[in-house]
Structure 1
Amino acid sequence: MLRTASSCLARPLKRGSAGAALQPLWRARALHVHAHTLSSPTPSSLKAHLSALPLTWASSEGLLFSFSTSLPAASITPLLDILAAHPNAVGSFHLSPTQTPEVSVSTFTPEKGEAAVKSWHLSETGRAPPSVGKWRRPGEQEYVEDDAGDSIGSLEDRLKDGGWDGLWKAQGESARIDVGDAKNVGTLVALTDATPAPTLEALDAFPAAAKLGYVAAPTPFLTGYPFTLFHGRKVLQTGAVGLALPKPADVAVEYGVESFAAPTRVKAARGNLLLTIEGPNPNPTATLIAALHVRDKGKAAGLTKDESFWLQIKDPKTSELRVVHILSGDPSRGALSLDTEIPLVPGQEVQFMCRTGALPLPEPLGGALRFVALARTDDVAVAAKEGAPQTIDGFLVSSEGGFICSPAGVPTAVITVSGAAGTAGWR
């Protein structure tokens, strides 16, 4: 029987009951959060919405906003002039799967006596995917890892210093989020560019805080920048911007994928490579192929080249669940390559997952912040669907690059499973 991966991280979300599971989180809270998504916004409709908030938006301590790339370019500056006037505003761009022009806005105001909301930004960015071969484009940054192992004995020397984890970890100075005393930070919200490794490391320096956010949409044809991040009136092209909130968020992730094989455990791993597993066949790739044959027995159509598969990973200490994309496998050697920056650990319970239905259409959840991972596509965007200005309860952002939704005590990771949704609220 198939088992649905409809829960993860902190609080389970049953399929079709997300509202019931999380709705109590934002009643009688010490952090006042007003989250909305405005479709086809105009400057006047945005002003009217902000003016109608129970707490004056200008007096709120933090403002989070995100423009959809479907917005007409001419409308962005007037809307930004309003939002960037807030002293603690951060924002970026996201994709709308329905090509609806929209802006998602959330304000945060702690009750009297609570620590203040603070905004932050990082200029550091991670390394881009490596170029094919040994040549580099003029001006392209060089990394020590690119030449690791070229000379005799160099790989062994690197392994002596920090083992495979040390080789796996990126080189360079660590990024740091400066928001004062970490004890006053319950939640960190981060909007990042497409290479967020330094941001993830900086977020992990706050183990007691929940982490939220998303990978921003590229904007070269909209603003002329590869990515556009707003920190007040300051515009950044790389790195990350975010908010530090005093109250920890309750978070939940629904992946929407199902298992098609029995769980097993990691026997040997190296970084993001799953080398061997426990059980009668230690070859992970061969085990995956065998499970697919059992799944598709008697079916007219079997495995297709467009079908994707994932691996659910359960931490033996925290029981945390996360799902990562299986990039490739080698049937002869057995290793599976996974889309994760968190190294695998022997003893972790793992299970093969797949999607059996169509991707659901992302929807906001009243009072909450919701982030959705979209499938990557090369399709040309259709014309934006403009209409009359409308306000929907709930902050909704979709991203092809994935999102962050990690509770306290869990390593920060970007969730890239297509159709996965992360939701956050405050008690």
Structure 2
Amino acid sequence: MRPLHLSTFVSSKSDKLLEHLGSLSKKYGAEGHTVLFALSSNIQPANCLGKAVDQLVNFNGVGPSVSSQGRVVGCLSDSLSSIKLFSERFGGSEVVSCSVAVLESKHCVPFYSPLPGRQKPQVGRWHSFRKINDAEDAGALGVDQIDAASGPGGQVNWEEVWNRSTGSSTSAGLLLEALRSISPSDVHSLLHMSVLHPDLFLEGLSAGLPSTTTLGLYASPTHFITGRPVTLFLDDRIYGEGSVGVALLRDNDNEAAIPTSSTEFLEAKKLAEPMTVTSVEGNMVNALDNSNPTQLLLRAIQVGGISSPETGPITSRTFKEDEEFALGVLSPTGKIIQAFKITAGDPAHRGGSISLDAIQAPAVGSTAQFLHHAATQSLRLPPSFLSQGFEKISFITTRESTMGHSISADELTQYPDSFIAEGTFLAGSHAGFVMSQGTLRSRVAKTSKDTWSCSLKGGMGVLEWPVE
């Protein structure tokens, strides 16, 4: 299927965003469609954020005839102010945004998963389950259900977990019932918005939808905005844990309406020469070209002439505070197809292993190259991004939201107060996104190792449809 409508509305004024949402709901809200949205959490004042949420949650209740079949799925996301396209248009001021996708309900399946996120990323990880105390999330799948379905070595029998959860009428069964009610071969793509590191949920997707392309956004942290770790929406329910999303189904009358998936890494500069991954362990790379990875990285930094204005030359003790470095995985043509942010490394310990912010390190035998993203580098979208030839849904890793400067009354006349990117759904999070390009492995059973996440600034996962 292809979306009926995609748009990203960006404005320096919250009231303009409310007006835009009102006009969208009047146009599409009475037809029983499914609506996917990402609303920036920086909307001020707080009552405007509440009004925007109310308009979106009640999107299908506006219009001459209210349909009971319409669904709403969404989250609070990060600001798009760090993207140069928008910062230039609005004179560097803080902007608010909302991206909306309108989908035909007969060709999509909304869902909620209560499976929690990993509490702490660790090497040699083990999952620590915790019960959810919020009344809104009281129906979440409990630790007792997961433990009861666990086998030797802590392996989870996902078929048994699915059977247990779908036997109840609580919200715990919503995702699992939705997946079980349709054939995996009917799902060509799946979009989700999740708490950080939803490992169990991702494992379930890999097992249940082995050939499906999935693209997920790590929702913006909202502890100081809504009092929840993240803020997710499914219809009139609000969740602070788990994942929400929508499975996109094949349209048998239009097989060409299946999107292609791709990745971009804005302003990522390659360092040194490509290498071969020769030893990994969990999310750690122990050897590149059978050599000490941290020493190779420091040498690449030195040769590249990269230094910090505050501390001077970058060392293994300072590089992760000053700049962003990553290990990129290359295609046979040399294109960066994955990028994993480097979080730690010491040339004198553990053979110089480097730790990655990753579900799993790149496979042994992969061709890899160091990448650098400067701390002061703007995120510049390529000119082709807003091309009229494609409709696209994109999740991008942004910088952490910081309030931009205020615009004076004189400056207000120099800049537009709003901008609409039609045919584009762009949502940002400084925590990043997670992706599995299942269509690339349609002849091979997909495993959880095929799922990867990107927290490198400027990383972007894309689903796109050619315009008919």
TM-score by length of structure 1 reads 0.72
Does residue 455 of structure 2 align to residue 413 of structure 1? no
User: What is the distance in 2 between the residues matched to 1:231 and 1:384?
Assistant: 36
Does residue 116 of structure 2 align to residue 125 of structure 1? yes
TM superposition shift of 1:338? 1.1
TM superposition shift of 1:372? 1.3
Q: Secondary structure at 1:48's aligned position in 2? A: helix
Matched-pair identity in %: 25
| 1:63 alignment counterpart | 35
2:30–2:60: 8 Å Cα contact kept in structure 1? no
| 1:234 alignment counterpart | 237
User: What is the distance in 2 between the residues matched to 1:90 and 1:49?
Assistant: 16
User: What is the distance in 1 between the residues matched to 2:300 and 2:418?
Assistant: 50
| 1:89 alignment counterpart | 72
1:254–1:422: 8 Å Cα contact kept in structure 2? yes
TM-score by length of structure 2 reads 0.66
| 2:84 alignment counterpart | none
Choose which of 247, 259, 273 in structure 2 pairs with 1:249.
259
2:80–2:96: 8 Å Cα contact kept in structure 1? no
User: What is the distance in 2 between the residues matched to 1:425 and 1:204?
Assistant: 22
Task: Say if 1:299 and 1:384 are closer, same or farther in 2 by CA, change over 3 A.
Answer: closer
Higher relative contact order by CA 8 Å / sep ≥ 6: 1 or 2? 1
Write the mapping of 1:369-388 to structure 2, written as runs, cut at 5 A. 369-376=393-400, 379=402
Task: Say if 1:199 and 1:260 are closer, same or farther in 2 by CA, change over 3 A.
Answer: same
TM superposition shift of 1:426? 2.4
TM superposition shift of 1:34? 1.1
Give the letter for the 1:290 counterpart.
Answer: R
User: What is the distance in 2 between the residues matched to 1:66 and 1:34?
Assistant: 14
TM superposition shift of 1:57? 4.6
Give the letter for the 2:74 counterpart.
Answer: G
TM superposition shift of 1:337? 1.0
User: What is the distance in 2 between the residues matched to 1:339 and 1:389?
Assistant: 35
TM superposition shift of 1:32? 3.7
TM superposition shift of 1:140? 8.7
2:272–2:369: 8 Å Cα contact kept in structure 1? yes
User: What is the distance in 2 between the residues matched to 1:298 and 1:195?
Assistant: 32
1:264–1:349: 8 Å Cα contact kept in structure 2? yes
| 2:9 alignment counterpart | 38
Does residue 218 of structure 2 align to residue 191 of structure 1? no
Task: Say if 1:174 and 1:361 are closer, same or farther in 2 by CA, change over 3 A.
Answer: farther
| 2:369 alignment counterpart | 351
Cα RMSD (Å): 3.6
2:275–2:367: 8 Å Cα contact kept in structure 1? yes
Give the letter for the 1:36 counterpart.
Answer: S
Q: Secondary structure at 2:241's aligned position in 1? A: coil
Does residue 305 of structure 2 align to residue 296 of structure 1? yes
| 1:334 alignment counterpart | 352
Task: Say if 1:187 and 1:60 are closer, same or farther in 2 by CA, change over 3 A.
Answer: farther
TM superposition shift of 1:253? 1.3
Q: Higher mean Cα deviation, 366-375 or 238-247?
A: 366-375
1:285–1:331: 8 Å Cα contact kept in structure 2? yes
Write the mapping of 1:386-425 to structure 2, written as runs, cut at 5 A. 391-393=420-422, 394-408=424-438, 409=441, 411-425=450-464
User: What is the distance in 1 between the residues matched to 2:198 and 2:307?
Assistant: 44
Does residue 292 of structure 2 align to residue 283 of structure 1? yes
TM superposition shift of 1:182? 1.0
Q: Which runs of 5+ in 2 are unaligned?
A: 62-68, 82-93, 123-129, 133-151, 163-174, 251-257
1:124–1:198: 8 Å Cα contact kept in structure 2? yes
The Cα offsets for residues 244-285 of structure 1, whole Å up to 9 and x where unpaired, read as 101442122111312211112122211111112225xx1111
Give the letter for the 2:235 counterpart.
Answer: G
User: What is the distance in 1 between the residues matched to 2:434 and 2:306?
Assistant: 37
Give the letter for the 1:34 counterpart.
Answer: H
Q: Secondary structure at 1:368's aligned position in 2? A: strand
Corresponding residue pairs, total: 355
Give the letter for the 1:295 counterpart.
Answer: G
User: What is the distance in 2 between the residues matched to 1:42 and 1:374?
Assistant: 21
Q: Secondary structure at 2:352's aligned position in 1? A: coil
TM superposition shift of 1:344? 3.7
TM superposition shift of 1:229? 0.7
Task: Say if 1:181 and 1:295 are closer, same or farther in 2 by CA, change over 3 A.
Answer: same
2:9–2:17: 8 Å Cα contact kept in structure 1? no
Structure with higher helix content: 2
Q: Which runs of 5+ in 1 are unaligned?
A: 1-29, 132-138, 142-160
1:61–1:116: 8 Å Cα contact kept in structure 2? no
TM superposition shift of 1:400? 0.8
Does residue 279 of structure 2 align to residue 268 of structure 1? yes
